[in-house]
Structure 1
Amino acid sequence: MTLALMFVILFLLLIIGAPVAVALGTASLFFIATSGMPDVVVLHNMVNGINSFPLIAVPFFILAGHLMNSSGITTKIFAFARATVGWMYGGLGHVNVGASVIFAGMSGAAVADAGGLGNIEIKAMREAGYDSDFSVGITAASSTIGPIIPPSLPLVVYGVIANASIGQLFAAGLVPGLIMAMSLMIMVAVYSRIRNYPRDDRFRGSVFLRTLVDALLPLFTPIIIVGGILTGAFTPTEAAIAAVAYAMILGLFVYRTLTPRRILNVSMETVETTASIMVIVAASAIFGWILTANQVAQKFAGVLLTMTDSPTMIILVIMLIVLVVGCFMETIAAITILTPVLLPVAVQMGIDPVHFGIILILNLMIGLLTPPVGMVLYVLSKVSGVPFERCVMATLPFLAPLLFVLLLLTFVPALSMWLPTMIYR
């Protein structure tokens, strides 16, 4: 009964708009207080929850992404992507996707992609005669590639909570991220034929080489991060620190676009974002401990097994639960709440924790494109001037290829598992 009341309190607080950390903490404190447990349990679990070496990567990846945006590197990336794939029909739509793939190797966050590249992409597409709805829709959909292709902040948090290898998670996200890009480019090609969108320009070798040279140093960022991790040169945490150092070198000494004031502003933004993530992780550590101690995951698995004994149906139910939660909850918070409950059930069904992490994150990324939370849609509404409701409608068609990729990855594990299997196992 006490456990049920804890969930009731949690959902009531979330419904009335309380911060996720407050909702998790209050519900957990209620359970501990009514169960007669010592108060020291709260502090012990909160400290243990954030006392993790891999979590050090979070602020550094956030800082690296902010530094890249502040250094004007996003403009160079967009110019290179434009010279590379702009010659195709619906060229700027393909450029939009290509730029997101490249930026994904630097920021690891969908909102950072939408905020950093979104303004540039939508402005360029409007000037070229593309509909605002199409421009916003493809920009929103392509931003979800960021947290799948390494480095990825959600995968770092999932790895810590699930006790899974972050290196393997990063390797597992590479191919799915590229499949997502291909599916969106197919969608762009279909739209382009239907609406007769033009090519941006014919391919010019001189322009390609010039933009490649201009973007060459920024393009080394994902090579340093991903290559260093996959070759074992450094851990994901050390890779994050290396990314920050490299971004600082580019901004201060190569492009000279970073000023002390910009660095201060970027640092404060990083501190604010990191603090909010860590508070959620700390609060979720107590919540997760209570769930584990009371065998909630095992009970949940038992309920599912009474409904059906088909592994396929159980996986579909799990994915539906994640999809619904992702519509109402911020990604990091959803990861911290859902992982302790759903991962043991998935493992019982024979799903590898690394594979489950990829489909969980992709599922939650789709949630970023749906109301009422839809953080990416709010960001794009702000940078584009398009009303939020219109952004929602513009993005709906682009959910189809993302849902297709989600189902494909769910039932063909080899697509995400073959690379980590080759490298680590």
Structure 2
Amino acid sequence: MTAAVYFGLPVLLLVLGVPIFAILLMVSLAGLAMNAELPLHSVQTVVFGSLDSFPLLAIPLFILAGDIMGTGGLARRLINWVMSIVGGIRGSLGLTVVGSSTLFGAMSGSSVGCIAAVGRTLYKPLNDAGYGAKFSGGVIAGTGAIDILIPPSIPMIIYGIAAQQSVPKLFIAGIVPGLLMAVVAAVYVLWYARRNRIPMTEKPTMAKVVVSTKEAMWSLAAPVFIIGGIYGGIFTPTEAAGVAVVYAALVSRYIYREMSWKDLWATTCRSMFLMTQILIIVAAAGLYSWLVTTTGIPQMLVKFLTDLQLPPWQLLLLFNILLLVVGSFVEPPAAILILAPLFLPAVTALGIDPIHFGIIMTMNLAIGMFTPPFGLNIFAVNGLFKVPLPTLYRGVLPLLVLYIGVLMLVTYVPQISLAALKLMG
């Protein structure tokens, strides 16, 4: 009966289209009704305690920083710089999408923000160059997932909070898997362009590279400043998020002069809605996770998996399948907050490094964001560029298959994610 309430009821409500925060609250209330011995006065402590976290403050700040960069000219200059370097190659526009998404990921941890910033600049040129709506929409939706792996990553921050792991260590561990996804996407773009004889763009010249580099200098400095400050011990990830907001605002207002104080206020208000959605989910998921933990479900899951006597590779495959399915229906913050406390005891019992598992979980949920039929990135591209959903489903399938291949490689070769940690001591 307990399992039916905590796991069966959420699935039923999700199929009925109930918002995820409402599902978590409704299931939590049902759990409280079933367990009369649980003190009701603890509910408010758990809900507000879920939000009382210094690392959690990084999430709204990185969202705001990414939004300012997207509207204040930093993202556009970054895209122009990438284009000036890869121009003249068959598939250069597609490569620009991959490169820009990777670089934008080093400034903001929001996948949807990356899609908006990169897509608004490059979707129409891609279409006009002969790539077609299927490829253009698919590659923008698919490369937006790279943003989640390249630090600073909002899902990694949430996993660090939920699993009580070091956020900087997670950032370091995510670099190589994120770059692997970018390389695979770039190879696919080049193959597609050659196979379909996409016309080549104008060849780059040293003069154009110099001009674009000069214009993008402040944009290129942002990821160096943010990530370098974290790894250099100058500030924490949360402080880095605050620095990113101030940096983006000052550069957009006084150096590029593309954003007035009125525009900054409008951008802040727009970001506020997304921040609110995430924080409501965090509060509701905190209550749900507390109830699941107090009822002993994680311990029962560990015993169940131990009794199966499956080798670790099969259990990891089972986790991957489950996370991919969940990721295609549930947004990464909610999925991590619900599943990380549930899975982590079983993972540590198997001797799997929690940092490595954090990368596996993040990769699965990143891929889930553009997995048909309900991937969030798919709906973002559909809403922004009016690409029909059936067209988008076909467009994302090649990258979906390639990314799952990278996921399997990272899952079973933990050195890919952990080697950088050992290298940096």
User: Under TM normalisation by the shorter chain, which class is it?
Assistant: over 0.9
Map of 1:50-61 to 2, 5 A cutoff?
50-61=51-62
Correspondence 1:22 to 2:22: yes
The 5-angstrom pairing of residues 186-335 of structure 1 reads 186-335=187-336
Q: How does 1:45-194 map to 2 (within 5 A)?
A: 45-194=46-195
Task: Report what 2:13 is aligned to.
Answer: 13
Q: In 2, are the aligned partners of 1:46 and 1:285 still within 8 Å (CA)?
A: yes
Deviation at 1:336, TM superposition (A): 1.2
- Deviation at residue 77 of structure 1 after TM alignment: 1.3
For structure 1, the 5+ residue unaligned runs are none
Deviates most, 236-245 or 328-337: 328-337
Q: Which of 149-158 and 32-41 deviates more?
A: 32-41
CA contact (8 A) 1:328 1:371 kept: no
Q: Which runs of 5+ in 2 are unaligned?
A: none
SS in structure 1 of the partner of residue 328 of structure 2: helix
Conserved? CA contact 2:90–2:190, under 8 Å: yes
Q: Does the aligned pair in 2 maintain the 1:79–1:211 contact within 8 Å?
A: yes
| Alpha-carbon offset, residue 242 of structure 1 | 0.6
| Cα deviations by residue, 1:363-421 (Å, 9 ceiling, x for unpaired) | 11111112332111111122322211211111111112211111111111111112223
Q: Which amino acid aligns with 2:247?
A: Y
CA contact (8 A) 1:90 1:192 kept: yes
Between the aligned partners of 2:416 and 2:131, the Cα distance in structure 1 is 34
CA distance in 2, matches of 1:153, 1:201: 37
With over 3 angstroms needed to count, the CA separation of the structure-2 counterparts of 1:6 and 1:176, relative to structure 1, is closer
Residues 3 and 31 of structure 1 are in contact (CA less than 8 Å); yes or no, is this contact kept in structure 2? Answer: no
For residues 173 and 155 of structure 1, what CA distance do their matches in structure 2 show? 9
Give, in angstroms, the shift of residue 99 of structure 1.
0.8
* Range with bigger deviation, 193-202 or 348-357: 193-202
Task: State the identity %.
Answer: 35
* Aligned-residue RMSD, C-alpha: 1.5
Q: Secondary structure at the match of 2:216?
A: helix
TM-superposed deviation, 1:54 = 0.2
Contact 2:111 2:145 in 1 (8 A): yes
Per the alignment, residue 33 of structure 1 pairs with: 33
TM-score by length of 2: 0.96
Residue 332 of structure 1, CA deviation? 1.2
- The residue identity in structure 2 corresponding to 1:184 is A
How far did 1:276 drift? 1.3
Q: Per-residue deviation at 1:135?
A: 1.4
**Helix, strand or coil at the partner of 1:328:** coil
Of 343-352 and 231-240, deviating more is 343-352
Name the CA distance, whole Å, in 2 between partners of 1:17 and 1:132.
Answer: 28
Give the distance between the partners of 2:11 and 2:139, measured in 1 at CA: 33
Please give the TM-score of this superposition, normalised by the length of structure 1.
Answer: 0.96
CA distance in 1 between counterparts of 2:143 and 2:111 reads 9
CA deviation after TM superposition for structure 1 residue 73, in Å: 2.0
Amino acid of the structure 2 residue aligned with 1:129? G
**Partner Cα distance (2:214, 2:57) in 1:** 33
Q: CA deviation at 1:308?
A: 4.2
| Matched letter for residue 282 of structure 2 | V
Answer whether contact 2:6 2:292 (CA < 8 A) is retained: no
Per-residue CA deviations over 1:160-180 (Å, capped at 9, x if unaligned) read 111110111111111111111
Q: Distance in 2 between matches of 1:147 and 1:327?
A: 15
Q: Distance in 1 between matches of 2:27 and 2:134?
A: 41
Q: Residue type matched to 2:280 in 1?
A: V
What is the aligned partner in structure 2 of residue 370 from structure 1?
A: 371
In 1, Cα distance between the equivalents of 2:373 and 2:334?
Answer: 15
8 Å contact from structure 1 (residues 323, 363) kept in 2? yes
Matches of 2:348 and 2:202, distance apart in 1: 50
Structure 1 residues 4-57: Cα deviation after superposition (integer angstroms, max 9, x where no partner): 323333222222122211111121122122211221121111121111110011
Distance 1:60 1:312 in 2: 38
Q: d(CA) in 1 for partners of 2:205 and 2:347? A: 50
